[in-house]
């Protein structure tokens, strides 16, 4: 959850609602459509952005590790060919 004290969630009718952090996990009413819903902080836009950033970093590490492994394997194969 962000440090600003607010997070954003969508109501069941996809209206974006800015929610104070103190009302997380509480039942709210959408100011646009009057639909009742529970504001789950885990479903917030900010939480989704954090998940995307974390996944991107994980894929970057996988890509870097793969490149390093391929370089080491290539150097090993080259050296093995030179010694034969």
Burial profile 2-27: b = 16 or more Cβ within 10 angstroms, e = fewer: eeeeebebebeeeeebebeeeebeee
Local confidence band at 55 (pLDDT 50, 70, 90 cut-offs): confident
pLDDT given at position 42 = 87
User: Model pTM greater than 0.85?
Assistant: no
E strands, the chain, are 6-10, 16-20, 27-29, 36-38
Q: Give CA–CA dist 26/30, Å, rounded.
A: 12
pLDDT digits (tens, 9 = 90+) for 6-52: 899 999 999 999 999 899 999 999 999 999 999 988 888 887 777 78
pLDDT of residue 4: 66
Look at strands 6-10 and 16-20 and give their pairing: antiparallel
On the CB side of 23, CA atoms within 13 Å amount to: 15
What 3-state DSSP class applies to 7? Answer: strand
């Amino acid at each position: 959850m962000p440090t600003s004290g607010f997070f954003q969630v969508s109501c069941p009718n996809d209206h974006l609602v800015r929610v104070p952090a103190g009302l997380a996990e509480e039942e709210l009413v959408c100011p646009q459509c009057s639909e009742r819903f529970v504001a789950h902080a885990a479903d917030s836009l900010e939480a989704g952005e954090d998940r995307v950033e974390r996944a991107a970093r994980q894929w970057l590490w996988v890509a870097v590790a793969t490149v390093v492994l391929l370089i080491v394997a290539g150097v090993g194969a080259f050296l093995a060919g030179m010694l034969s």
